Structure formats: structure tokens, C-alpha cells
Amino acid sequence: MAATDGQIAAFLAVASETLDTVDSVLADLDDRTVNHATPGGNSVFALVTHMGGALGYWGGSLLAGEDVPRDRSSEFVATGTVDEARAIVRGLRADLPRWAGVAATGIRNPAATGTTRRDAATATPEWVLTHMLRELTQHTGHMEICRDVVVAAAH
């Protein structure tokens, strides 16, 4: 089973729009506030790092068969600068078209490691693209909430 050109194009269009939102969140933060975790939650930097790790696993390692190293547990405690977070987003913008393009031919490495999901090895390319969008949009929403809380607390 493989994804169609239309599915891949739709994935890339929605992913690009969502990454635009991530860029707008980062534009509202500085190097201190990007690392400020909400109570019981994560910081925007940690969420961007997790997003990069999750999409790197699903798109890069599993789908495209690339070796994209991932330390999932460290993603949630990562700290850095706004510029470093922007670099992760730029990397995703560069990598997503290549990774998604592979979905037209199938999954290259169903044995890739880097997720807590037990069903990854049996996922279809269409499911992987949909799951990647879910991860991208879910965590972008988390970033927006975190940004709103952090900015409100700073004023």
C-alpha cells in the first residue's frame, strides 16, 4: 500500500501551514520564555524538540528508512534558544517533502526504533502521514497554550 500524490500534497500543505503557526509562536518568545514550562506541562522549546524527534522518527527513520537518532525522554526536558528552535523548524521544512515523498512507494524501515507505539511496524504510509499531522498539530496547539500562559505571566 502507498500514499497517493494527492495525499502527499495535502500532508505537505497542512504541515507547512502548521509550521507557520510554530514560527509565529516562536516570534512571541525570547530565549528565556521559550524555556519556561507551564505548570504540569512543557516549555515551547521542549515541544519543538519533541516535534522534531517524533517527525524525525515517523517520517525519517520509519517511512524514509533514514537513520534519524532520537532520545525521546530527553526531548521533553530539552532547553535552548529561540534560534535553535527555529533551526528545528527549518530542518522539518527541508526534510518533510523528502520523507513524505517516500510514502508513494511504501515504508522503507518498519523495524525502526524510536517510538512507544507497538503498532509502528504494521503502519501503512497513509497512516504514518496522518499520524505525523496529528503529532504536528497537537503539539502546535500545546505550544500556543504554553506561549499564551508564559506571555500572560510575564506581564
State pLDDT tens for residues 87-110: 999 999 999 999 999 999 999 999
Burial of 144 (0-12, 13-18, 19+ CB in 10 A): middle
Number of folded domains that form the chain: 1
Question: What are the Cα distances from residue 81, in Å, to 48, 63, 64?
Answer: 11, 30, 29
- Which CATH number characterizes residue 44's domain? 1.20.120.450
pTM, whole model, 2 decimals?
0.95
- Do 8 and 104 form a contact (C-beta atoms < 8 A)? yes
Residue 132 belongs to domain spanning: 5-154
Span 66-84, pLDDT tens digits: 999 999 999 999 999 999 9
